[in-house]
A and B are shown apart, each in its own frame.
Chain A
Amino acid sequence: EAGVVQSPRYKIIEKKQPVAFWCNPISGHNTLYWYRQNLGQGPELLIRYENEEAVDDSQLPKDRFSAERLKGVDSTLKIQPAELGDSAVYLCASSPTGTGDSYGYTFGSGTRLTVV
């Protein structure tokens, strides 16, 4: 079974430029998460999807961040315009709906964003 696939693996952009990250979750996993992880810290949730519906986007900076999950499968996270403070690793994770935390989340390898 393929894991959670993210691309690109690395991205370097100048501030004020747009950037987009793509995620393909594990087949059959209805719940999809986007996290941001700063160096030396734990992941912080940006948005959670149940199928195509964003059910928790309370920590998504909506002035510059947007996300979509068309057809309830792949998802894209966009930043426009990027700021220096957006430099971080952006992680996508998925889990089956209704399993709680017993089986945990499956994470992708992340996209390391550097804004210069």
Chain B
Amino acid sequence: GQSLEQPSEVTAVEGAIVQINCTYQTSGFYGLSWYQQHDGGAPTFLSYNALDGLEETGRFSSFLSRSDSYGYLLLQELQMKDSASYFCAVRDGRSNYQLIWGAGTKLIIKP
């Protein structure tokens, strides 16, 4: 089967660093994606990891460990505008290669 687990909510302080974890179980693995979605808004693509290691894009970084079926999204120098839900997603070969999404992590940032 397939499943993704991520925390439902994370709270952090403006200017700090926060890590959002994602574990997955899939039949076959074709990479881990991260999306951001503000309340009432469209999901926006953040990053994609196909290989182990850290990918950095500005204040956001994404990490993947295929042996551990685990990844995380790291947000640095948090800003109030980063308050949003963050989704990890994997493509599952047994589901016709559909992109399967986690339930999302709501990031709450306090001043």
How many A-B pairs have beta carbons closer than 8 Å: the answer is 54
Q: CB-nearest residue of chain B relative to A108?
A: B42
A40 touches which of B44, B48, B103 (Cβ 8 Å): B103
Interface size on A, residues (CB 8 A): 24
A20 to chain B, nearest CB (A): 20
Per-position contact with B for A94-107: 1 when CB-CB < 8 Å, else 0? 00000011111111
A23 to chain B, nearest CB (A): 12
B42 touches which of A41, A103, A110 (Cβ 8 Å): A110
Determine the main DSSP class of B at the interface with A. strand
25 A-B residue contacts at CB 8 Å? A4-B42, A40-B103, A41-B104, A42-B89, A43-B43, A44-B101, A45-B98, A48-B98, A58-B96, A59-B98, A100-B30, A101-B30, A101-B31, A101-B48, A101-B50, A101-B91, A102-B48, A103-B48, A104-B48, A106-B45, A107-B42, A107-B44, A108-B42, A109-B41, A110-B42
